[in-house]
Each structure stands twice: as structure tokens, then as C-alpha cells.
Amino acid sequence: MRVSRGSWRVRARHPRKGAAAPADESVRDPLVRLDFFPRALEERRVGIASLARNVRFGGPDGRVHFARLSVCLVLGVVAAVLVVPPKTKAQGPATPTPVVLLDKKPLPLDGDTDKTLEAARAIAREYVAQPLTVKVEGGRAITRPRSELGARVDPQRLVALVAELRDPRSAMRRAHDAIARGKPLELPLPVGVDDTRAQAALLAVKDELDHAPANARLDFKTRKVLPDQPGHRVDVHATLARLDAAIAKGDGEITALVETIPASRTADQIREVRYDDVLGYFTTKYARDNAHEARTFNLRIAASKLDGHVLMPGEVFDFNQVVGPRDEANGYKVATVISQGELVDGMGGGTCQISGTLHGAAFFSGLEVVERRPHTRPSGYIKMGMDSTVVYPTITLKLRNPFPFAVVLHEVVENGEVRAEVLGPPRTRDVTFFRKISQATPFKEKEIPDAKVPKGERVLVQRGIPGFAVTRYRIVRDGPYAAREKTVDSYPPTVQIWRVGTGEADKSFEAKDDAHAEYVADEMLTITQGPSARPGSQERGGATVESRVAGKYGSYGWTVREGFTQEIKPREGKKKDPKDPDNPGVD
């Protein structure tokens, strides 16, 4: 039989005269498909292997067997050549070298392949380094290099593309020569998107572009209602498809697909709210010098976030939800914060004074305190039992409006004073705050060796503060009715830290001790606020009257008298008046 490469069919000869006719009718067909061919080759291979094992090539019979084996080997090689098609080479004449523009940039084809490939890679690197802007409605946008958003050039496809461009007989070159001879051959880069990296990048972008809706609120300066603003939430998966298309096209900007979040408080809902009187107020002091400039800046930002917030009947105010994150993106600066009982620098320092002052106003207005936590050490700007620590997003202050009418929160920072007010219809309630210190716990002292301090010197890094167990009462009087609430606060002791010198003697060394004075607090404190606190007072919301019993904790030197510590004498020329408001130590 013959094997035709062109038709991939086998033509069978007719049987010799006298030979028995084949039983299978399909064999009579002069054109037999190649279906049997692999099986025939396999039978031939087995036969050759058996022959090689069993045949000896000695004598006349051996020469016959050797000749037969040689013929079989030749036929096997011929069959293999016919079955395996040869590699096809580009057909047709060579084409002239065109001008190639890869991503609209010239790609030289002169020189060797490595030179062209390196030029293509340089174009690819430049492409993925170009900026791409992701924006949302309202003007918010971020810009990142395409590579950070997941763009990548397929290196294998780039190598194959260069090989096609350098082959004068390639299909690409022949097609271009036939259609646009003499014109530049413009090609895009083989770019794609790494979905995993792109999704991670868009999640980071989402954190920057998402913003919560802004409820309608009151502007006390203009006495007008500020309209509500919807929020936006980026849909990462839908935006990923737009990013993929933009990178493929080479676009420099995409609009993220966002979900609109309506505000929960509209202007129409609060337009008729009354805020004629002060239901409760509270004030704290802050330092105004340059050293506290960043902290004062943070105070004003935080207060502005909640100023004018309307709390409807039964609604709960969440400080963290309304004020939002205290980070650099929201304009906050680094200032002193309390962390694990120690004063350290932290982003948004001072925010707790806003929450504590608001808590005081809510306390005296009669709002329900749903959630509140004291600090890990007493604060110099506010009385023990009135403070409220906040940490975004874990620790917050929550207040509920128990009244049948809406109230408005108002807080301002000016002239060294933070003032918070709860506004509503005319006030009828008197509220009393009563606090008793039931126990004081000594603080520990810690010494830290310091080679920067001369031997024999001790520097007070942090003044210790005893721990306190405080019992608080709130008594609300409204006409003939009164209600009393009891809570207990616990302030753990603050460690007193010394740096002990181990270094060389240095006459120029000047020790700088912790400037905070000894912490003193009245053993019993009563504060009453309301219309009946001082009849005839012109103060909006009524007067505030305090009554104090110093007891064992309310005068300077009590920690030494109680045996908590030894007396710390002020260094020469460093004495500071403990009544100085910039050096808080008095409750």
C-alpha cells in the first residue's frame, strides 16, 4: 500500500490472482482511511522486537533474517516521516521592514533581537508606570501608577510579538504589507490585569473614596438648616471590570461604580425642631500656648463634626459614628493621648476632651448615657467621674434621647474653653451630680537605667497617680418627681517612672522632670445645675453650683501623708504654681 501525505489516506492494491478475497468488505474499497495505521505500526514494532530477540544472524538463514529486519526498519522510518507532518515555514516573499509603533512609540527593528526586545520592555515599563486616576461623583479621586492597580505586561506574549515583527515572512508583516504598505504598523502592548493585586488595590482605594452620608444639621451662626448629603460606597467588583477595560485601552482615568447611601436625617425632618433653651451644659479648659497648638486644632475639628447634630426622640447618638475616624486623612494632627495609663503622642490627641465635655452636658440635660468608659488615669481638664474616653472605632460614647421632643447638640472651642450644650424647648429639670471617692490605691514606681543621664542623677519621667474607686450618682428632679441613678468608675494607678543615671559626669546636664503636679481630688463633690440651682440666675439653662469636701485626697501632699510615695522636691528654679491651669493637677 501507499501512504499519501496530502490526503492522509491509504490506497490498497487489488489482491493478486488466486488469492482469497478478503472477508471484510471495507478492504475492497481502494481508499482505506488511516484509522488502522497506528495499530499496524504497533504490530510492526512488536514483530521487529521479537525478531531482534530470537533471530541469529549467522549462516545463510541469518543473512536472510538480517535483510528482512533491515527492510522493516526502513519501512518504520518511512512511516514515521509520513505520519508526523513537518514544520511549516512562512511562505511567500520577504516583506520590507515597516515602521513599528508599539503603544504609539517607535520600536526599532534594526540590530539584533535582544535590542528590539529590550526596547519593547522599556516601553512596557513606561506604560505600567503611568498614572491612572480613579474618581467618584462629587470630585473625590485618587491617582496611582497603573502597576499598583494591577496592570502587567505579559512577558511571553511580548517576546512572541517581537519575534513576529522581526520575521519578514510572518503573517503579521505580510498582512500589513498587503493592506497598508508604506504606513506605520501600530500595535498595542499585550497588557492585562492581575486580578488579585487589582482587587487589593481597589480595596485600599475604597477606604479613601468611601464616605458616610452627612445628615442635615443646624448652623448656629446663620441660624439655618444645612442640607443633608448622601454618602458613597465603592463597588469593588464592578469597578474592577472598568479598571480592566481602562488598562487595556490605555485610558488614564476611570469613574468608580458607587452605591449611593442616603442620609438618615433630611432637612425637612429637622426644619421645625425647637432649640430655644439650654437643657444642659458643661465646660472644660484647654491650654492655648504654641506647645498645644496641634491639640487645639484637633479639638476644633472634632467639635465641628457633631455641632448642630439633631437627636430625634428615642434615637441614639454614637460619637465614633458621627465624628468619624481621627486620622491624617480627616485633617487631624499628632498630639498627646493616654495609652495604657501613660501620656504618649498619638494621632487625634485631644478628642477625648470633646467627648468628655459632651458627656457632661448630656449628664446635666437628662439624656440617657447608654455607653461610656472612663480613662485609664484621671485627666487634668475634667473632674473624675465626668470624663469619657473614645478610641476609634472600638471605644465610643453613646447617648439616647429619652424625651418626646428632638434635641440639638452644640459644642464650640474658643478662648481657651470647650463648651458643650444640649438644646431644646424650655428647661424644667434640675440635675445633681454627686461623687464620692471610696478607695485610693498606691501606685508603683519603676526605675530605668539611662546612660544619657549622669551617674547619681534621677529624672522623673512620669509622675505617679494613685488608683481610685469612685461612686457616682445622678439625681434628676422635675417638679415633684425625682429619679436617682448610681454607677461606679474605676481608675487604675499610674506608674511613677524614673530614669536613673549610669553615664559619665556632665556639668552641663539639666534634668527635666515631669511638670504635672500631684493629683488631688475632693473626697466628696456635689454639682447641681438647673433653673432652681440659684433662683434669679440669668445663665441660659440655669446656674451651676458646686459643693466640695476635700477629705483625705483633696489637698496637696496627701500621697506622702498616706505613704504612697516620698516627697518630690522641686529643683532649683523649677518650682511651678500647682494652681496654674496649664499644669493641671486639681480635680
Query: pLDDT tens digit string along 32-82?
Result: 333 444 454 455 555 545 544 554 545 556 666 666 767 667 667 656 655
Q: Do residue 252 and residue 312 come from a single domain?
A: no
The one-letter amino acid at 91? Q
Strands 407-414 and 417-424: antiparallel
Kindly give, in sequence order, each residue whose CB lies less than 8 Å from that of residue 138, ignoring residues fewer than 6 positions away: 232
Q: Do residue 290 and residue 351 come from a single domain?
A: yes
- Give pLDDT, residue 376: 92
Collapse the DSSP code of 324 into the 3-class scheme (helix H, G, I; strand E, B; otherwise coil) and give the result.
coil
Q: Do residue 484 and residue 378 come from a single domain?
A: yes
Q: How many domains does the chain have?
A: 3
How far is residue 171's CA from residue 220's CA, in Å, rounded to a whole number?
75
Q: Do residue 291 and residue 388 come from a single domain?
A: yes
Torsion of CA 477, 473, 391, 330, to 10 degrees: 30
Q: Where are the alpha helices (DSSP H) in 130-230?
A: 155-166, 171-180, 195-209
Query: What are the start-end ranges of the E strands in 455-580?
Result: 458-462, 467-478, 481-491, 496-503, 524-530, 543-549
Domain end: 50, 83, 116, which one?
83
How far is residue 274's CA from residue 276's CA, in Å, rounded to a whole number?
6
Kindly give, in sequence order, each residue whose CB lies less than 8 Å from that of residue 283, ignoring residues fewer than 6 positions away: 357, 417, 418, 419, 420
H helix and E strand count, the chain: 12, 32
First-last CA distance in the chain: 113
How far is residue 524's CA from residue 502's CA, in Å, rounded to a whole number?
44
Kindly give, in sequence order, each residue whose CB lies less than 8 Å from that of residue 515, ignoring residues fewer than 6 positions away: 576, 583
Domain end: 230, 261, 292, which one?
261
Domain end: 210, 239, 261, which one?
261
Q: Tell whether 578 is covered by a domain.
A: no
Q: Do residue 305 and residue 345 come from a single domain?
A: yes
Q: Tell whether 574 is covered by a domain.
A: no
**Are the beta carbons of 1 and 10 closer than 8 angstroms?**
yes
How far is residue 218's CA from residue 216's CA, in Å, rounded to a whole number?
7
Cα distances from 131 to residues 245, 246, 250, 269, 505, in angstroms, run 15, 12, 11, 44, 57
Kindly give, in sequence order, each residue whose CB lies less than 8 Å from that of residue 511, ignoring residues fewer than 6 positions away: 453, 457, 458, 459, 571
Q: Tell whether 361 is covered by a domain.
A: yes
Q: Tell whether 575 is covered by a domain.
A: no
Q: Tell whether 89 is covered by a domain.
A: no
Q: Tell whether 228 is covered by a domain.
A: yes
Q: Do residue 432 and residue 323 come from a single domain?
A: yes
Q: Tell whether 438 is covered by a domain.
A: yes
How far is residue 436's CA from residue 448's CA, in Å, rounded to a whole number?
36
Collapse the DSSP code of 70 into the 3-class scheme (helix H, G, I; strand E, B; otherwise coil) and give the result.
helix
Q: Do residue 360 and residue 455 come from a single domain?
A: yes
Q: Where are the alpha helices (DSSP H) in 23-151?
A: 37-54, 59-83, 113-129
Cα distances from 335 to residues 37, 241, 294, in angstroms, run 86, 42, 6
Strands 141-145 and 131-135: antiparallel
How far is residue 107's CA from residue 93's CA, in Å, rounded to a whole number?
23
Q: Which domain holds residue 378?
A: 273-561
How far is residue 358's CA from residue 281's CA, in Å, rounded to a whole number?
8
Collapse the DSSP code of 578 into the 3-class scheme (helix H, G, I; strand E, B; otherwise coil) and give the result.
coil
Q: Tell whether 268 is covered by a domain.
A: no
pLDDT in tens, 476-499: 999 999 999 999 999 999 999 999
Q: Do residue 296 and residue 368 come from a single domain?
A: yes
Q: Do residue 46 and residue 134 come from a single domain?
A: no
**Are the beta carbons of 536 and 545 closer than 8 angstroms?**
no
**Are the beta carbons of 201 and 236 closer than 8 angstroms?**
no
Strands 496-503 and 445-454: parallel
Q: Do residue 257 and residue 278 come from a single domain?
A: no
Closest CA to 342 of 493, 472, 453: 493
Q: Is 133 exposed, middle or buried (0-12, 13-18, 19+ CB in 10 A)?
A: middle
Q: Do residue 368 and residue 328 come from a single domain?
A: yes
- Give pLDDT, residue 345: 83
How far is residue 345's CA from residue 223's CA, in Å, rounded to a whole number?
38
For residue 471, count other CB atoms closer than 10 A to its CB: 15
- Give pLDDT, residue 83: 54
How far is residue 84's CA from residue 62's CA, in Å, rounded to a whole number?
33
Closest CA to 437 of 583, 562, 573: 562
Report residues of the chain scoring pLDDT below 50.
1-38, 40-41, 48, 51-52, 55, 57, 90, 577-584
Closest CA to 506 of 572, 455, 461: 455
**Are the beta carbons of 275 and 218 closer than 8 angstroms?**
yes
Q: Do residue 197 and residue 315 come from a single domain?
A: no
Collapse the DSSP code of 214 into the 3-class scheme (helix H, G, I; strand E, B; otherwise coil) and give the result.
strand
